[in-house]
Amino acid sequence: MSSNKKQAVALSSVLASLFLTVTKLIVGLLTMSMGIISEAMHSALDLGAALLTYFSVRISDKPADLEHPYGHGKVESVSAFIETGLLFITSAWIIYEAVKRLIFKSVEVQATWYAFAVIIISIIVDISRSRALSKVAKETKSQALEADALHFSSDIYSSGVVLLGLVFVLLGQSGADAIAALAVAVFVIRAGYQLGKRTIDVLIDSAPAGITENIKEIVNGIDGIVSVERVRVRALGPTAFIDLVINLSRKLSLEKVKEIISALEAKVKEKIPGADLLVHTQPVQMDTETIIESIQILAARHNLAVHDIVADNLNGRQFISYDLEVLEHLTINEAHQVASHLEENIKKEIGGEVEINTHIEPLKAEAIFSSNLEPAETARLEKIIFGLVKKIPAILDAHNILIRKIDDQLFITVHCLVPGQTPLASTHQFSSQLEYSIKSRLPKVTRIVVHFEPK
């Protein structure tokens, strides 16, 4: 719909410019008015610009393709750039002819009624077209239509100057017409400068004024973003392509990072309609990051999992120990190499004198199959487990006991109730105590998972 509106208003400008050019040229030649002839040249320029605008908006609205991944929006800027060149060429001719008339030869100008009529009609048409073009240009953010609107709005002032020149000619001031033509040239040059500056800014990918600061303000308002590393913006027609690099805490999960980016994209598109945002994230180490968090992050960077991390200091020396999970099919030599590589990276990051002790555990990469025990055997084992639970007074109750057989070994899960205010460290201690008791009593148990719930 916006594309059809742009093309319709551009085509109407072509027809209006054609009418004004022909009318002014005929009247200018009949009256020998340099002011009207210069206006005819100005309108001829507008006709060429309007044609360029019409064809450029048709091309620029084509969607992006493999050869033009950013779309065809810069066609409008190229069109506006050509229009700028035409503006300055026209201005040079007007100035040359006006100065020649003022200094070297005198031409009798006839201030007839149709001379006044064509200028007044021109002003009315220019006002109408300028308003229509400006309205659609703002709605569609079309640079080509904005340039066309600028042409017509400058014509209003230049036509007014020519009208004033004709009045002075009517009063017997013959040089007023040439002076009016010079004033028209000044308006044309001013319009060309404004248009050319904006066009060149787009062609050399200058960021729109204030947009970088606006983006940084938006980014700083999003929770979870540490800072902005880089902002790059290129305007292309109604679209602002934004390349953004932000710093995030390296502790964040991928899901959290995605959530932050989604919030950022939504806010940018709300504040800058039509924005096309590409976000690149950089993980950074926070001052609040603990040694244990650093170890977890370094392990995750190598696709490894660590748990039961303990970091302590003794006599100014740092000691670190943890359990490291590696694939069970590795040999001890291969597993040790994996552990050593992780230890080296931890020492580099933490610095200073540090001693690391790694307990290597086998990790099953695939799901395994288990089987049920005979009901009588299950009942016997449950009775033993209930008895061991009762020996730990802090555990109020045990339920949901599940006993499975994997190969020749037993896998047990048990849910236990403790008071809700029990410290987590104490709960972990009770879990270790129960696991030890069960393994001591049932040697075939290979794994126990104790799940604690608050009463």
Domain CATH code at residue 409: 3.30.70.1350
Question: Could you tell me if 187 and 119 lie in one domain?
Answer: yes
Question: Could you tell me if 196 and 52 lie in one domain?
Answer: yes
The closest alpha carbon to 189, from 94, 87, 78, belongs to 87
Residue 208, domain member (yes or no): no
Residues 211 and 233: beta-carbon distance below 8 Å = yes
Residue 305, domain member (yes or no): yes
Euclidean distance between CA atoms 53 and 17, whole angstroms: 12
Question: Could you tell me if 53 and 147 lie in one domain?
Answer: yes
Q: What is the pLDDT of residue 435?
A: 93
Q: What is the residue-wise DSSP string for 285-302? A: --TT--HHHHHHHHHHHT
For residue 45 the two structure tokens come to 């320029």
Euclidean distance between CA atoms 276 and 233, whole angstroms: 10
Question: Could you tell me if 163 and 254 lie in one domain?
Answer: no
Q: Domain total for the chain?
A: 4
Instruction: Name the residue range of residue 278's domain.
Output: 219-284
Question: Could you tell me if 38 and 154 lie in one domain?
Answer: yes
- Rounded to 10 deg, the angle between the 211-220 and 254-271 helix axes is 140
Q: What is the pLDDT of residue 1?
A: 42
Q: What is the pLDDT of residue 166?
A: 66
Residue 63, domain member (yes or no): yes
Q: What is the residue-wise DSSP string for 104-143? A: T--------HHHHHHHHHHHHHHHHHHHHHHHHHHHHT-H
Residue 444, exposed/middle/buried by CB under 10 A (0-12, 13-18, 19+)?
A: exposed
Identify the domain boundary among 333, 363, 393. 363
Identify the domain boundary among 168, 203, 238. 203
Question: Could you tell me if 40 and 98 lie in one domain?
Answer: yes
User: What are 399's strand-pairing partners?
Assistant: 415
Question: Could you tell me if 196 and 48 lie in one domain?
Answer: yes
- Neighbour count for residue 338 (Cβ, 10 Å): 17
pLDDT tens by residue, 271-312: 877 777 888 888 888 888 888 888 888 888 888 989 888 888
Residue 209, domain member (yes or no): no
Q: What is the pLDDT of residue 105?
A: 53
Euclidean distance between CA atoms 260 and 57, whole angstroms: 37
Question: Could you tell me if 55 and 154 lie in one domain?
Answer: yes
Residue 214, domain member (yes or no): no
Euclidean distance between CA atoms 65 and 177, whole angstroms: 53
Question: Could you tell me if 176 and 112 lie in one domain?
Answer: yes
Low-confidence stretches of the chain (pLDDT beneath 50): 1, 72, 107-109
Question: Could you tell me if 89 and 132 lie in one domain?
Answer: yes
For residue 135 the two structure tokens come to 């309205």
pTM of the model as a whole: 0.52
pLDDT tens by residue, 123-169: 787 787 777 777 776 666 665 666 667 666 666 666 666 666 667 66
Residue 213, domain member (yes or no): no
Question: Could you tell me if 298 and 232 lie in one domain?
Answer: no
Strand runs labelled E in 157-304: 225-236, 239-249, 275-284
Strand runs labelled E in 160-216: none
Residue 211, domain member (yes or no): no
Q: What is the pLDDT of residue 403?
A: 92
Identify the domain boundary among 363, 385, 411. 363
Question: Could you tell me if 193 and 297 lie in one domain?
Answer: no
The CATH number covering residue 170 comes to 1.20.1510.10
Residue 403, domain member (yes or no): yes
